[in-house]
Amino acid sequence: MDQVDRILTQWQQERPDLKVSPMGTIGRIKRLNQYLVRGMEKTWSAHGLNAASFDVLATLRRAGPPYTLSPGDLITSTMVTSGTMTHRIDQLEKIGLVKRVRDPNDGRSFLISLSPKGRKVINGAVTAHVETQRKLVASLTDRQRAQLDDLLRQFLTGFEGADNCTNQPASEPTPGLLPRER
């Protein structure tokens, strides 16, 4: 029995007319999210990053050489507003992790590119991040994790649709080591 089971038992005693089992599912997901985020924040912080800066740098890094995307592509990938993305880019540029480069196909616009320093930081951070995530799921066997992935994918598809384009959640700024997000 976990803390969520105790809460459900209390509700069942107080309100036996309610079917509270969904409260258990959602409560466990919320509690797990808190533990997972705390674990990952420690890793990001060790590399001078927060969730927002890690997200931008990782998105650029996984894009492959030349590790460059348009601001619009970054916004689409990270699901934040243009104002939030501009602020993130400004902060990352100030500390030398990204640079704005003129778009060779449109001289009026810029692309965002990882700087050599940014690539070094994100390479180290991603390596540590993957190890942190491995530790965070270590209580599950590979089979259990695959089953959980399948169930969570099905659950998430109910919100996003199979094409991952609908009902995207609003992103909230995450405080961290970089200057405050807007």
**How many Å apart are CA 41 and CA 50, to the nearest integer?**
6
Please name the helix (run of DSSP H) or strand (run of DSSP E) that holds residue 68, with its range, or none. Answer: strand 68-69
Q: What is the dihedral of CA 42, 27, 140, 161, to 10 degrees?
A: -90
Kindly report the backbone phi and psi dihedral angles of residue 35, in degrees, each rounded to the nearest multiple of 5, phi listed first.
-65, -45
Q: What is the pLDDT of residue 164?
A: 52
**How many Å apart are CA 111 and CA 104, to the nearest integer?**
9
Nearest CA-CA partner of 54 in 116, 97, 115: 97
Nearest CA-CA partner of 4 in 145, 148, 22: 22
Q: What is the pLDDT of residue 163?
A: 62
**74 and 59 Cβ atoms separated by less than 8 Å:** yes
Q: What is the pLDDT of residue 7?
A: 96
| Domain ranges (residues) in the chain | 1-46, 49-160
Instruction: Enter the CATH code of domain 49-160.
Output: 1.10.10.10
Nearest CA-CA partner of 49 in 3, 95, 9: 95
pLDDT (tens digit, 0 to 9) for every residue of the chain, 182 residues total?
899 999 999 999 999 999 999 999 999 999 999 999 999 999 999 999 999 999 999 999 999 999 999 999 999 998 899 999 999 999 999 999 999 999 888 888 999 999 999 999 999 999 999 999 999 999 999 999 999 999 999 999 999 886 654 444 544 433 333 333 33
Write down the H helix ranges in 15-163: 21-46, 51-62, 71-78, 82-94, 116-136, 142-160
Name the burial class of residue 88, with classes exposed (0-12), middle (13-18) and buried (19+) by CB atoms within 10 angstroms of its CB. buried
pTM of the entire predicted model? 0.80
Q: What is the pLDDT of residue 78?
A: 87
